[in-house]
Chains A and B, each alone.
Chain A
Amino acid sequence: MNPFQFTRVTTPKAAISAITKERGTYFLAGGTNLIDLMKREVIIPERLVDINKLPLATIEKTATGLRIGATAKNSTVADNELVKKHFPLLSQALNAGASAQLRNMATVGGNMMQRTRCPYFYDTSMPCNKRSPVQAGVDKGQANGPSGCGAIGGHNRMHAIFGASGKCIAVHPSDMCIALVALDATVNVSGPKGDRTIPFIDFHRLPGDLPQKDNTLQPGELIMWVDLPTNRFADNSHYLKVRDRASYAFALVSVGVGLDIKRNTIQDVRLAMGGVAHKPWRLTAAEEFLKGKPATEANFKQAAALAMQGAKGYGENDFKLTLAPNTIVNALKTATKTA
């Protein structure tokens, strides 16, 4: 780990100006991802700006739903009564992630910004385009170890089956974000050029030719909070995470689902999948198909088949082509209590 400077800020304005001032400056929230990356020398910051003292740790009701501050801890959000009552999917997804100790430190903003767990990204002696982009431009000067994609033709059991590129097949590892994309969250950010709101689905991006960019946050921008619109899914929500051990493992595939059901007819539904793409993967085609249909296993299977269109395996992860639709069906059955 390199020596670095450390400052603590108490206002968003100070945070933004601190990060804009000097290159190589990073926000430090819970530190559960950033510190690991520093130890492995994947990220070598010159300066850390501790944002844990910002007044952004609150969870409050708004006219349209719920507002969750960016520095609220994962465990605080998961245990919050309003969240549990109105957005149980979010609570379940959070509790499916990491371990209790990590959730006690991890924040909402940090969770959204966490990097992929691709082993080639973490080992600076192995090729990775995300860590060592080949293109000049946005992240110029960031090369750190060899470029290329180690996962293509390598160990890619955990990797993407949707939306990958020839440059990168990594997945976004978050559980929380699967719930947030399903629940139509919006993200409020503040930066040197002012404030803006980003629909959650547009927050993360596909790798394309710029795998070094995980998301659409601009330089100097700070995540302030996430807004959740009120919904009718609380009674029929489920987050199903399939993993290699019962706890403390990233998803092979996960599915977040929320439904509004009346007389066994699906009025409205939200479906998203994790562990399958470079971003939280919303299953809109499957949602469209299910709307207005009865909640039956046959329909779930058809929806799952629609969701899988365009999926592609890379060898070790071919099993996800079977696991993903099965998990969709399983999650739908559990959420609709038709299991």
Chain B
Amino acid sequence: MTTNTKNPPIDRIDGRMKVTGGAQYFADFELPNTAYCVIVGSEIAKGTIAGLDTKKAQGAPGVLGVFTHQNMPPIPGWDAPVGGEADGPPPRPKGEQYRILSSPKIHFDGQPIAIVVADSFERATYAASLVKATYTKQTARTDLRKHVSDGVAPRGEDGGNYSRGQADGYKTAPVTLEANYTVPIEVHNPMELHGILAHWTGASTLMIYAKTQGVNATQQAMAEAFKIDPKNIHVHTEFMGGGFGMGLRTWPQETAVVAIARKIGRPLKLVVNRSQMFTLVGHRPYTVQTINMGADQTGKLIGIAHAATAETASYEDFTEATVNMTKFLYACPNVSTRYRIVRLDRSVPIWMRGPGEATGAFALESAMDEMAHKLNLDPIEFRLRNYTETDPERNRPYSSKYLKEAYQRGAEAIGWNNRKLQPGSTREGDWLVGYGMSTGTFNAFRWEASARALLKADGSLTIQSAVTDIGPGTGTALTMIAHNVLGVPMNRIKVEYGDTSLPKAPTQGGSAIVSAVGSAVFDACTSVKNELIELALKAGGPLAGRQANELTMADGTLSVEREPGKKVAVSDLMQANKLTVIDKTKDSKGGPEHAKYSMYSFSVHFVQVRVNPLTGVVRVSKAVSVADSGRIVSPKTAASQMIGGVAGGIGMALTEEAVIDHRFGRFVNNNLGDYHVAVYADVPAIETIMIDKPDPIINPMGAKGMGEIALIGFAAAVANAVFNATGQRVRDLPITPDKLLRAV
């Protein structure tokens, strides 16, 4: 494989299977004798269960058991209380869950208070409705805005504390800006509901079908919870109907289902309902941010201070990298950041696509636009005046950075020269038109991963890795990488994934899978290729006397580049050596040179909006998103990734907000009718542009990540465009009509 050539766009290898119903998602699996369970959630956000009446439920048809804190089977790995109380409030170490159904204490609205098991889903649902609880209520703190001053540094972390130069150096600048930004609770809301199917195949052997972004992670979590050897736990998640981060950990209810399945001695399936998706599987945390910025008249940044305060649960600290990009995105001598959490009576958040960086980028990139306006500068020009070729946070080079080119190509594609510097000056009929842009960036990771390549004498190739495909087209990208190394035609390559019986892989997340698992596939295929070359070159071999670097491999044939006709078919070579298969497994990780570089992907988002000043309605009428993601391994699925991220970005910018009535600590829009994800009519044609230049450092494909940068920054681009259209600055997402009308 050479990173110098662009890859052709190929169709998603599992596309046909998915649209014809052939792909099996966790809930599609049916096992004989399966029982079904339904979770009953708390109706209060804080307090204690005073009474729990389960009699009626127990007597309902088909019911096999009603499990509460009074009779929950023990979870062996949870027997030793970790600090504090068994079920939870601080201090608990990061990543430790509250212990489900272990005490009558309520820590958040929707907290499971009973799990009802029956012989059918419908009967379990009915019986669950018969469980009645009474509570001793306490006042719940659920409103972050009221408790910002309670913010503390997360346990065991520096709280994002960072500074270079003078922490408040911005104050000395001739032009300054202070602004507060809010990102509300957002919920991943993938189409597929969360759940698990657990089956004890023996006293200590377990089969699990789950909705997880990492089968190995689920395997490990269950091994710890049940104190059994991970080898005896088989987890299968080949496909996921959208994850966006909610499957990045094992949730307590999954562990509970496994425990109950063991107790009742039957396979047990849980599929939560839509409103439970708002409380049991995490969310993007409500976050308030303040940016202070100072610049001189020439448009040079003097200082930035970025402070973020986010909600977490009372029982666990969740943190994310909300303030990180401020440290390195622009050349600026004085930078300080701070990150605080407030422990509320809420369920714990989890990363949601773009995670903290998307939240942080909304603040930073809105502020950059506000400052550009103050300086009377074009926002791209302002960014270019503060462009940096080296990472100012760590004082080292970027492994690759083509952000300048991204600005330029995106500007051309959107027609940036139609943008007027003066807000509110373009009108089309009843509508005001505006343009906005923003930058996004996210770490380019290369985690450890392993993969196996099996080349058969018939010329077919099988690639294996435990990685789950949460939707980006992982299998397709891996096919392309294997094809590039071994020259096996794409229709002869089979990728097997999403199962712990396959070589270990990291959890699908962090935009890291093409880099991590792709590298392992590259290495495994390279190892196969090396063996073939060795066979061809050895004394008496068909290409004896040539050098390895003279050989090319394509279409199942090894040939000598400068000797036309001098070649050998791989199948002949293997048969001659009595080989039916060449089977290589490789563990793969980045080398020590990685430490010398800062590795990031970059994106630039451009939008054109139309705003109706009479109704406050905002329509994104055009979107162009440019990715500097290194070499693009699979252009078609990469473009789809980008389009999906932008659609999510439109939701974040204009419609998505999970609303709590703080008097009750409960959501008032916990369904897909009232929680507004962007629908097709909200999403215009999206143009995606790939810089598609290889990163020379990160991995052999030269590929950086794509999933997060597709969304990071997009909401700011919309807010900036709305400002350009109307002169109104909305700093609290989402930008709904009422906010623009109120501002009039």
Give residues in A with beta carbon < 8 Å to B. Answer: 1-3, 41, 117, 119-120, 123, 125-126, 150, 153-155, 157, 242, 244-249, 252, 316, 318-319, 322-323, 326-327, 329-330, 333, 339
A339-B430 in contact (CB<8A): yes
B615-A245 in contact (CB<8A): no
Task: Compute how far the CA of A126 lies from the CA of B126 in the bound complex, rounded to whole angstroms.
Answer: 21
Chain A residues with CB below 8 A from B126, complex form: 1-3
Majority secondary structure, A binding face: loop
A327-B615 in contact (CB<8A): yes
Known: A319-B737, A327-B614, A339-B430. A245 touches B676 (CB 8 A): yes
Contact with A along B648-662 (1 / 0, CB 8 A): 000000110001010
Chain B residues with CB below 8 A from A323, complex form: 615-616, 737-738, 741
Q: Within the complex, what minimum Cβ distance (angstroms) separates A43 from chain B?
A: 13
A244-B668 in contact (CB<8A): no
Interface centre among A3, A150, A157, A246 (most CB of B within 10 A): A246
Q: Which of B320-328, B407-415, B677-685 contacts A (4 or more CB under 8 A)?
A: B677-685
Partner of A119, one of B674, B679, B737: B674
B661-A154 in contact (CB<8A): yes
Task: Compute how far the CA of A329 lies from the CA of B125 in the bound complex, rounded to whole angstroms.
Answer: 49
A322-B678 in contact (CB<8A): no
B429 on the interface (CB 8 Å rule)? Answer: yes
Task: Compute how far the CA of A333 lies from the CA of B676 in the bound complex, rounded to whole angstroms.
Answer: 29
B669 on the interface (CB 8 Å rule)? Answer: yes
Q: Within the complex, what minimum Cβ distance (angstroms) separates B271 from chain A?
A: 14
A245-B738 in contact (CB<8A): no
Task: Compute how far the CA of A339 lies from the CA of B668 in the bound complex, rounded to whole angstroms.
Answer: 38
List residues 114-166 of chain B with CB under 8 A from any CB of chain A. 122, 125-126, 129
Partner of A252, one of B429, B663, B678, B737: B737
- CB pairs A–B below 8 angstroms (21 shown): A1-B122, A1-B126, A41-B129, A117-B673, A123-B668, A155-B661, A242-B737, A244-B655, A244-B737, A245-B676, A245-B678, A245-B682, A246-B679, A247-B679, A247-B681, A247-B682, A252-B738, A316-B738, A323-B741, A326-B614, A339-B430
Give residues in B with beta carbon < 8 Å to A. Answer: 43, 122, 125-126, 129, 429-430, 612, 614-617, 619, 654-655, 659, 661, 663-664, 666, 668-669, 673-674, 676, 678-682, 736-738, 741-742, 744
Chain B residues with CB below 8 A from A3, complex form: 126
B129-A1 in contact (CB<8A): yes
Known: A41-B129, A119-B674, A247-B681. A242 touches B738 (CB 8 A): no
Residue of B nearest to A317 (CB): B738
Having A3-B126, A247-B679, A330-B430, one finds 12 other A-B pairs with CB under 8 Å, namely: A1-B125, A126-B666, A157-B738, A244-B655, A245-B678, A245-B679, A248-B673, A252-B738, A319-B616, A323-B741, A326-B741, A327-B614
Chain B residues with CB below 8 A from A319, complex form: 616, 737-738, 741-742
Chain B residues with CB below 8 A from A1, complex form: 122, 125-126, 129
Task: Compute how far the CA of A329 lies from the CA of B430 in the bound complex, rounded to whole angstroms.
Answer: 12
Residue of A nearest to B668 (CB): A119
Chain B residues with CB below 8 A from A155, complex form: 659, 661, 668
Q: Within the complex, what minimum Cβ distance (angstroms) separates A67 from chain B?
A: 31
Task: Compute how far the CA of A324 lies from the CA of B304 in the bound complex, rounded to whole angstroms.
Answer: 42
Task: Compute how far the CA of A155 lies from the CA of B681 in the bound complex, rounded to whole angstroms.
Answer: 27
A330-B654 in contact (CB<8A): no
B736-A244 in contact (CB<8A): yes
Chain B residues with CB below 8 A from A247, complex form: 679-682
Residue of A nearest to B61 (CB): A3
Chain B residues with CB below 8 A from A126, complex form: 661, 664, 666
* 6 closest A-B pairs by CB: A246-B681, A119-B668, A319-B738, A247-B681, A326-B614, A125-B43
Q: Within the complex, what minimum Cβ distance (angstroms) separates B591 from chain A?
A: 47
Known: A41-B129, A150-B661, A245-B676. A322 touches B744 (CB 8 A): yes
A125-B738 in contact (CB<8A): no
Chain B residues with CB below 8 A from A119, complex form: 661, 668-669, 674
Interface centre among B43, B429, B666, B741 (most CB of A within 10 A): B741
Task: Compute how far the CA of A299 lies from the CA of B679 in the bound complex, rounded to whole angstroms.
Answer: 36
Residue of A nearest to B44 (CB): A125
Chain B residues with CB below 8 A from A153, complex form: 663
Q: Within the complex, what minimum Cβ distance (angstroms) separates A287 from chain B?
A: 21
Chain A residues with CB below 8 A from B654, complex form: 245
Task: Compute how far the CA of A287 lies from the CA of B654 in the bound complex, rounded to whole angstroms.
Answer: 35
Q: Within the complex, what minimum Cβ distance (angstroms) separates B614 from chain A?
A: 4
Chain A residues with CB below 8 A from B659, complex form: 155
Residue of B nearest to A123 (CB): B666
A245-B674 in contact (CB<8A): no
A322-B129 in contact (CB<8A): no
A339-B429 in contact (CB<8A): yes
Chain A residues with CB below 8 A from B430, complex form: 330, 333, 339
Task: Compute how far the CA of A153 lies from the CA of B429 in the bound complex, rounded to whole angstroms.
Answer: 39
Chain B residues with CB below 8 A from A246, complex form: 619, 679, 681-682
Residue of B nearest to A316 (CB): B738
A125-B664 in contact (CB<8A): yes
Known: A119-B669, A120-B668, A126-B661. A242 touches B680 (CB 8 A): no
Known: A1-B125, A157-B738. A245 touches B655 (CB 8 A): yes
Task: Compute how far the CA of A153 lies from the CA of B664 in the bound complex, rounded to whole angstroms.
Answer: 12
Partner of A330, one of B125, B615, B666, B737: B615
Chain B residues with CB below 8 A from A157, complex form: 738
Chain A residues with CB below 8 A from B679, complex form: 245-248
Q: Within the complex, what minimum Cβ distance (angstroms) separates B114 from chain A?
A: 15
Chain A residues with CB below 8 A from B741, complex form: 319, 322-323, 326
Chain A residues with CB below 8 A from B429, complex form: 339
Interface centre among A153, A326, A333 (most CB of B within 10 A): A326
Q: Within the complex, what minimum Cβ distance (angstroms) separates B116 from chain A?
A: 14
Chain B residues with CB below 8 A from A120, complex form: 668
Chain B residues with CB below 8 A from A326, complex form: 614-615, 741
Task: Compute how far the CA of A245 lies from the CA of B650 in the bound complex, rounded to whole angstroms.
Answer: 10
Chain A residues with CB below 8 A from B737, complex form: 242, 244, 252, 319, 323
Chain A residues with CB below 8 A from B617, complex form: 242
Interface centre among B125, B668, B682 (most CB of A within 10 A): B668
Task: Compute how far the CA of A326 lies from the CA of B682 in the bound complex, rounded to whole angstroms.
Answer: 22
Residue of A nearest to B663 (CB): A154
Partner of A244, one of B676, B680, B681, B742: B676
Q: Within the complex, what minimum Cβ distance (angstroms) separates B140 from chain A?
A: 13
Chain B residues with CB below 8 A from A41, complex form: 129
A117-B674 in contact (CB<8A): yes
Chain A residues with CB below 8 A from B673, complex form: 117, 248
A242-B615 in contact (CB<8A): yes
Interface centre among B661, B663, B736 (most CB of A within 10 A): B661
Interface centre among A41, A244, A318, A329 (most CB of B within 10 A): A244
Task: Compute how far the CA of A246 lies from the CA of B738 in the bound complex, rounded to whole angstroms.
Answer: 15
Chain A residues with CB below 8 A from B615, complex form: 242, 323, 326-327, 330
Task: Compute how far the CA of A3 lies from the CA of B123 in the bound complex, rounded to whole angstroms.
Answer: 9
Residue of A nearest to B672 (CB): A248
A245-B681 in contact (CB<8A): yes
Partner of A125, one of B122, B612, B666, B744: B666
Q: Within the complex, what minimum Cβ distance (angstroms) separates B269 from chain A?
A: 19
Task: Compute how far the CA of A155 lies from the CA of B654 in the bound complex, rounded to whole angstroms.
Answer: 19
Interface centre among B615, B654, B663, B669 (most CB of A within 10 A): B615
Chain A residues with CB below 8 A from B669, complex form: 119
Residue of A nearest to B620 (CB): A246
Task: Compute how far the CA of A17 lies from the CA of B479 in the bound complex, rounded to whole angstroms.
Answer: 65
Chain A residues with CB below 8 A from B619, complex form: 246
Residue of B nearest to A249 (CB): B676
Chain A residues with CB below 8 A from B736, complex form: 244
Task: Compute how far the CA of A327 lies from the CA of B738 in the bound complex, rounded to whole angstroms.
Answer: 13
Task: Compute how far the CA of A25 lies from the CA of B407 in the bound complex, rounded to whole angstroms.
Answer: 64
Task: Compute how far the CA of A210 lies from the CA of B644 in the bound complex, rounded to whole angstroms.
Answer: 47
Q: Within the complex, what minimum Cβ distance (angstroms) separates A92 from chain B?
A: 15
Chain A residues with CB below 8 A from B678, complex form: 245
Task: Compute how far the CA of A125 lies from the CA of B668 in the bound complex, rounded to whole angstroms.
Answer: 11
Q: Within the complex, what minimum Cβ distance (angstroms) separates B557 from chain A?
A: 52
